[in-house]
Amino acid sequence: MPFNLSLAKREAAGLRRRLPVIERVSGRHLSAEGKTYLNFAGNDYLGLSQSSELRTAADAAAQAFGVGAVASPLVVGHQAIHRQLEDELADWLAIESVLLFSSGFAANQALILSLLNKEHTVWQDKLNHASLQEAALLSPARLRRFAHNNMAHLAKLLAPQSGLIISEGVFSMDGDQGHWSQLVELAQATHNWLMIDDAHGLGVLGKQGRGTLSAQGISPSRVQITMGTFGKALGVGGAFIGGSRALIDYLHNHARGYVYSTHLPPPQAAAVLAAVRLVRQADDKREQLQTNIAQFRAGAANLPYLLLPSTTAIQPLIIGDAELTVQLASRLRERGYWVGAIRPPTVPIGAARLRITLSAAHT
């Protein structure tokens, strides 16, 4: 297969990706190649990944259950710690039932591929995450994409009782939020299901960090499917699908990505459980994060590049040219700041950017 040709084309376009090796992470710092940097590239929005409470919980679970689940959930992989985490998530988010997955990508694919058939249509925001877009393309359903946060465009595309509308709580590359009041109204008016991917809103927005729906005053009962991840504000890894008991029971039986995968390691589940309990009480960290966001935006207001109007931890600075974006990220690294250089195909051509992410750990 023409691997070298494909890589050469990306190299020539300034789009080839290379894997950095991070040697150590400590609070707001990371170390690589013997140097220490301030980390403005990760998604540890509340600074919990280094929490002693999470480490202690993981250690205790390793002693009680071992370090691996050793089987898929429906065999012997679903252990007491997994059930505790599911119950805590359901209580926190006021949803009936929850299913755990190894990642947000896995959760989105398992959900969409098991739920939709050729009689369905799936409507997606054009800026939805790659996991959502790819799952829809792989499914037998018809994919229709609407312009970003353009509710008038979505309304023109919708057909009654024929499928699933999907949008994000906080968009991972732009940092803005979905228009959830209008999405709920459109879904109800056309009798279609509605799904939120709240990977980047969970933990940092809303009462007790319940996410985008809470922040926008929307009852979770009005959105049939919730996907959230544990690798951003919760500081661990993994994901969940939440919804009605009937939906979760259906996924137990039909979601191949769940049925045929080894379950989350018990220490990971225990760390997530500890993180959820901390997040529910973490108003001080959320306030610190908002203070940091305001301070950054004030300081960046006069830069010669477009700072997108985000009020979340994701602060995108649009550079435009991919090569220049990489150069700027490299110059920042020379000065001790690790910032993500985001280029096509992750973002559209001409929209390369520095994706600057803030954390409550930045003080």
Please identify every residue annotated as catalytic.
43, 129, 168, 172, 197, 200, 232
Cα angle: 239, vertex 263, 197; to 5 degrees: 15
Beta strand 193-197 with 239-243 is unpaired
Question: What are the phi and psi torsion angles at 316 (to 5°)?
Answer: -90, 130
The rounded distance, in Å, linking the Cα atoms of 194 and 268 is: 29
The rounded distance, in Å, linking the Cα atoms of 187 and 91 is: 25
The rounded distance, in Å, linking the Cα atoms of 260 and 256 is: 6
Nearest to 87 by CA among 276, 218, 360: 276
The rounded distance, in Å, linking the Cα atoms of 264 and 363 is: 33
The rounded distance, in Å, linking the Cα atoms of 115 and 111 is: 6
Run of H or E residues at 325? helix 322-334
